[in-house]
Structure 1
Amino acid sequence: MIDGAVRASNELTARWARHACTGETTALSGAGLWPLLALLAAAADGPGRAELRDAVGRDPADADRGAREVLEILARGTAVDGAFGVWHRAGLPLEPWWLDAAPGGSRGELSGDPDADRPRLDAWVERNTRGRLTRMPVALEPDTLLVLATALSVDTRWRTPFQDFPFRPRSGPWTGRPRGLAGLNSSGADLDPLALAETPGGPLTVLTVAGLDDVDVHLLLGAPDRPAGDVLAAGVDALDGGHPLRRGAELLAEPVARTAPGVTLTTVPSFTPAPTLRTTTVRFDVTAEHDLLADPALFGLATVSTDDPRGHFPRISRTPLKIGQGAQDVNAAFTAEGFKAAAVTAFGVAAGSAPPQDEAPVLSAVFDRPFGFLARHRPTGLVLVAGWVAEPEEWPEDASSGPGFW
């Protein structure tokens, strides 16, 4: 059961992905952004409060509680770590509500000297992303009065590791690479990791790669001409129960298998008639930077980023405040052994064998063209990181040829 704060965060992820994922390699974390927007909604008034309410999808009166719920999920995860940080300019008068409502975590003062403050905030980022990211994504300006930030990191190993191999797709945009791609394949008797989602935009193949702890990564493949943002948004909706999923044995029906993008159904000689799932995908390492004020209306920031002599956040301080900067840096890497990711989001507030005797069905799922991915906290359903892979890693030049090219 997806609870209110998690569902609201996932809806932001889907909406952001639909807007930001245009077909190039990228990644984003709605789970890193949503708690900050929820806190700002609870602290705002006037038109800005209404805009933030719409972006957050939650009543501002209890949005701060939702923010703490999501941050608690990140903090208590096994494969995911999360942190919240807030730094105020020394001497900025703070309201009692803000002192009580702001989540626990790192709290500190800004001296007003960027050269002195920047190393402390960068060190916080590096410490809370396990070294995958090393800088606070917003600049410290002379008029920066407040910095709000979240950091999350994901580090999980697969229950069933993949095998590396040099992969040369036979068709599509990834053909013609001289060295081939850094391919990954696996094979097993469990068919349930593969699913077909029936969505309004067409069928969507969903492959769940299970982590040893509490995070899974879902690979998403739509029709070749389906927009990247639509694939990711539909994937979030399907995993939240919004679209029906057909799993495992249901896909052994030939008409069903034919409708699943990237999936084929064949029979092979085998010792037993038990079916097999074979998966082929690629290594990827994605890095992205997002300016959250490039389209402020998407995040409910249009009004609260403008000058107003009364300010927009009276529950934080009687000093007039506005959002001066908003940014997120993300990195995500998918390998044969596991998945690692990190995101920092911040606002600057300014101001072997014998011959086989039988045949068995084989479901093959091949991700040999651009696809989406979602890293998801299994116990709660919170989508941690979403992204699109347009450029996978190439097979290393000094690597052996492995088991052969496809």
Structure 2
Amino acid sequence: MTQTPTTPRADAVRELAVRWLPLLGDDDFVVSPVGLWLALGAVASGAGGRTGEEMGELLGVEGEAAAEAVTLGGRWLGQAPGVAVATGVWSRVPVLDAFRAGLPDVRFGLLPGAVWSALPDDVFGATDDMSLGEMPDAQEELDAWVGRATGGRITRLPLDLDGSEDLVLLNALALKASWLTAFPGHLTRDELFTDGYGDTRPVPTMRQRIPAGWVWYVGGVTVVELPCAGEGGVRVRFVLGAEADGPGDVLPAAWAGAGARRPLVADSADLGLPRFTLRTKTDAREQLAALGLTRALRRGADFSGLSPADLYIAKVVQEAVVEVAEEGVEAAAVTQVTMTRSAAALRHKVVERIAFDRPFGVVVLDGSGEVPLFTGWRQSAPSVS
């Protein structure tokens, strides 16, 4: 992918995803690599010294470059049909005007206990639509922001406020897309699904015949892309590996380049895909530590470009949901970063049978097919609705 000033760092997001996925285990999950990257990128724009260098090594950007990448990348993603992106920061400590200026699309607000009234304007500028006499309940305000930003798909903060927060950064990503060709509802029927524990039971399975061009192989992984309606929209790919493969082995095949793909040798495929919903909450802080992010997560971190207060990242939690049905796909993710002070050739015509009847993955990418917006793994059998 050719990088331009208006695209997110696709290579950096993919690298973060590849490193993060093996730490998520083999049970059901859905996460947003680009949501985590955008949230941490906003924080990284205020990091200095070794803290900034460390975050730059993980994210591929730091300092002013991180602020620009987050701003332009968020705008670029938000231009895709059916995709919405939003970021907000709420604080009880002073936030530097330079940090705010570097993130012009971020909404800034106050947490209870903020002592901003005694601070000079060049340290803590005016907040958005807020005054000391109208300080709302923070939990209620942030929950409402989450609900609006995700179109009601997520209605509360991933992690409730407990009063220890000095700064909360939220990134929300939401999408709703219709399939270019919907699954005929009358063809949906119960078919057997064998979960990752070896148990088999019937689950509601959608069916349709799809063109061969929607299917390819990357190594031993089968990739099926279901196009969405609307030009420039998201790409949704389902990935099925060998029975012993886990998500770290299978999911990266969804964004493998054309050179790694082998085409389907049939002329079409009969697709059987469970109708399902995945919703999980992921505590990413320890996983980030395992990825080498240590200084930012402990007392003594350098976020001097964000605030004169001595802040470090205390919590990183992400809640995400993806729903796949006959008409299309809906998904949302909220990433919450809480900061606290320290002190082929022609062949005979055949129809391939592709049944997602065992653990499989789902990946939602941007319109270029290179930036993973959501990645999910279905280990258990989808519930019968």
With structure 2 as the length reference, what TM-score do the two structures score? Answer: 0.84
- Residue 234 of structure 2 corresponds to 215
- Residue 40 of structure 2 corresponds to 37
Structure 2: how far apart are the matches of 1:323 and 1:374?
Answer: 28
- Residue 65 of structure 1 corresponds to 68
Structure 2: how far apart are the matches of 1:380 and 1:331?
Answer: 20
Give the drift of 1:301: 3.6
Q: Which residue among 30, 54, 57 is the counterpart of 2:57?
A: 54
Structure 2: how far apart are the matches of 1:385 and 1:170?
Answer: 24
- Residue 18 of structure 2 corresponds to 14
Identity over aligned residues, as a percent? 27
- Residue 104 of structure 1 corresponds to 105
Whether 1:324 and 2:348 are equivalent positions in the alignment is no
Checking the alignment, whether the CA contact within 8 Å between 1:138 and 1:347 is kept in structure 2 is: no
Q: Secondary structure at the match of 2:333?
A: strand
Q: Judging changes above 3 Å, is the alpha-carbon distance between structure 1 residues 300 and 96 closer, same or farther for their aligned structure 2 residues?
A: farther
- Residue 248 of structure 2 corresponds to 229
Give the drift of 1:175: 5.8
Long gaps (5+) in structure 2: 115-134, 342-347
Q: Which residue among 173, 179, 188 is the counterpart of 1:158?
A: 179
Checking the alignment, whether the CA contact within 8 Å between 1:370 and 1:391 is kept in structure 2 is: yes
Structure 2: how far apart are the matches of 1:304 and 1:360?
Answer: 57
Q: Which residue among 191, 196, 201 is the counterpart of 1:167?
A: 191
Give the drift of 1:298: 4.0
- Residue 213 of structure 2 corresponds to 192
Whether 1:280 and 2:272 are equivalent positions in the alignment is yes
Checking the alignment, whether the CA contact within 8 Å between 2:53 and 2:62 is kept in structure 1 is: no
Structure 1: how far apart are the matches of 2:197 and 2:157?
Answer: 35
Structure 2: how far apart are the matches of 1:93 and 1:115?
Answer: 18
- Residue 374 of structure 1 corresponds to 363
Checking the alignment, whether the CA contact within 8 Å between 1:138 and 1:325 is kept in structure 2 is: no
Long gaps (5+) in structure 1: 253-274, 352-358, 397-406
Q: Which residue among 333, 355, 361 is the counterpart of 2:350?
A: 361
Whether 1:133 and 2:157 are equivalent positions in the alignment is no
Structure 1: how far apart are the matches of 2:174 and 2:89?
Answer: 18
Q: Judging changes above 3 Å, is the alpha-carbon distance between structure 1 residues 62 and 111 closer, same or farther for their aligned structure 2 residues?
A: same
- Residue 263 of structure 2 corresponds to 247
Structure 2: how far apart are the matches of 1:7 and 1:14?
Answer: 11
Whether 1:76 and 2:79 are equivalent positions in the alignment is yes
Checking the alignment, whether the CA contact within 8 Å between 2:44 and 2:52 is kept in structure 1 is: yes
Q: Judging changes above 3 Å, is the alpha-carbon distance between structure 1 residues 106 and 221 closer, same or farther for their aligned structure 2 residues?
A: same
- Residue 117 of structure 2 corresponds to none
Give the drift of 1:374: 0.3
Task: Compute the RMSD of aligned alpha carbons.
Answer: 2.4
Moved more, 112-121 or 64-73: 112-121
Give the drift of 1:2: 5.0
Structure 2: how far apart are the matches of 1:183 and 1:144?
Answer: 44
Q: Which amino acid aligns with 1:332?
A: V
- Residue 94 of structure 1 corresponds to 95
Q: Judging changes above 3 Å, is the alpha-carbon distance between structure 1 residues 172 and 76 closer, same or farther for their aligned structure 2 residues?
A: closer
Give the drift of 1:331: 0.8
Checking the alignment, whether the CA contact within 8 Å between 1:156 and 1:340 is kept in structure 2 is: yes
Dislocated runs of 4+, deviation >4 Å:
169-175
Offset from partner CA, 1:242-266 (integer Å, 9 cap, x none): 8511234xx23xxxxxxxxxxxxxx
Q: Secondary structure at the match of 1:86?
A: strand
Structure 2: how far apart are the matches of 1:51 and 1:172?
Answer: 36
Offset from partner CA, 1:215-236 (integer Å, 9 cap, x none): 1210111111122222113433
Q: Which amino acid aligns with 2:113?
A: G
Structure 2: how far apart are the matches of 1:170 and 1:10?
Answer: 30
How many corresponding residue pairs?
Answer: 350
Q: Which amino acid aligns with 1:297?
A: A
Moved more, 123-132 or 294-303: 294-303
Give the drift of 1:280: 0.9
Checking the alignment, whether the CA contact within 8 Å between 2:64 and 2:102 is kept in structure 1 is: no
Q: Which amino acid aligns with 2:15?
A: E
- Residue 206 of structure 1 corresponds to 223
Give the drift of 1:167: 0.9
Structure 1: how far apart are the matches of 2:369 and 2:270?
Answer: 28
With structure 1 as the length reference, what TM-score do the two structures score? Answer: 0.80
